[in-house]
Each structure stands twice: as structure tokens, then as C-alpha cells.
Amino acid sequence: MSSGSRGSVGCLRCCLVIFAVASALCVSAPALYWRFKKGFLASSTASSACTPCVCDCPPPLSLQKIAPGLLNLSVTDSISVTDCGKNDPELSKEMEKQFVDLLTEELKLREFVAEEHAHHMNATLLDARRLASQYQKEAEKCNTATETCEEAREQAEAALSKERKLTAYWERRARALGWRDTRLVALL
């Protein structure tokens, strides 16, 4: 893996961590705000309490049901049932917008990661094909050279055999005419 791709992977991981922290803050900040406000108001005016809200709201949607791959970070789950702000339609709309925006951003991020992965795989595949083609060419060169050497060896072997036959013929003829190998006579 090249240093450039390592850097981009590290940058992507850093961006994912920052996105996760920002998402967690965006999702949990309203709940913490309302809890803090409720606690602050309760301590400043201990006698005045929020009257319980009566409504027939549908159960809150959890992130686990909508997008099973994500953690359950639903804001409506973290707000207690007795919160008065829960019935505020403007707040509910805003929370749904944030929720949809977060899901959209998560899907875009996953699509980006999938595209990067596909790009990396395509580049790796092209490199592998290029190397395979190069090795195939080298193998063909090697096979051609081996065939050429084998043909040359066979020709040399045939020429040597022919030369031995010719030498044997001339030696027999020389001996028939009375030639003796002087090297052998000197040794005897």
C-alpha cells in the first residue's frame, strides 16, 4: 500500500471520527439542553412544576429500526416522557430534519467509502492485469529462447555426430594406407 493511500485512509478515518462525534453532539445536545433547562428551572422555582402533558403521540422511531447499521441515537428516546417540550410540533419537526439530515449524511458517507473502495479495487485489478501481462510476455520470451537453444543443441549434436563419422572414416582410410599414430608408438 502506498504512502498516499495510507494518508487518505488516515484522513478518511479522522473525518469519520469527527463526523461521529459531531453527530453524537447534534443528536444529544437538544436532550441535554432540555434536561439542563428542566433541572435549572426546577432548582430556581421548586414549587412550580411542569404539568404532565396529555397526548396520543405515536411511539418514537428508533434509529435501529430505520437504519439497522447505525447505533440507536434517537433523540426522542433520550427525552423523558414528562418533558413538556416533547409535544412541541416545531421542535419535533426540527428534530426530524436533523435526524433525516444525519441519515442522509451517513448514506452519502457510506456511498463515498464504497466508491473509494471500488476505485482502489479497480486500480489493484489493473495493476494485477498489467503484471500478469508482463509476466506472460517474459514467459513467452523465455520459451522462445529455450526452443532456440534446444534447436541449436540438436543441430550441434547432429554436426558432432557427422564429424565423428567423417573422422572415423578418414582414420580407417589412413590406417589402411599404413598410417600409425606416433603418439601410441612413442608410448609403447
* Predicted confidence (pLDDT) per residue in 18-43, tens digit: 999 888 888 888 888 888 777 766 55
**Residue 159 placed within a domain:** no
**Residue 146 placed within a domain:** no
Q: Does residue 188 surpass a pLDDT of 90?
A: no
**Residue 32 placed within a domain:** yes
The residue type at 40? F
What does the DSSP assignment read for 12-57? HHHHHHHHHHHHHHHHHHHHHHHHHHHHHHHHH-SS--PPPP---P
pLDDT of residue 71: 53
Q: Does residue 1 surpass a pLDDT of 90?
A: no
Band (72; pLDDT cuts 50, 70, 90): very low
Q: Does residue 153 surpass a pLDDT of 60?
A: yes
Q: What's the average model confidence in pLDDT over 107-126?
A: 94
Q: Does residue 48 surpass a pLDDT of 60?
A: no
**Residue 142 placed within a domain:** no
CA separation for the pair 104, 97 (Å, rounded): 10
pLDDT of residue 75: 47
pLDDT of residue 82: 46
* Predicted confidence (pLDDT) per residue in 74-94, tens digit: 444 444 444 555 677 777 777
**Residue 124 placed within a domain:** no
Burial of 40 (0-12, 13-18, 19+ CB in 10 A): exposed
pLDDT of residue 138: 93
The count of structural domains within the chain is: 1
Residue 24 lies in domain: 8-45+58-118
Percent of all residues in the chain with a pLDDT value above 90, rounded to a whole number: 38
Mean of pLDDT over the chain: 79
pLDDT of residue 151: 94
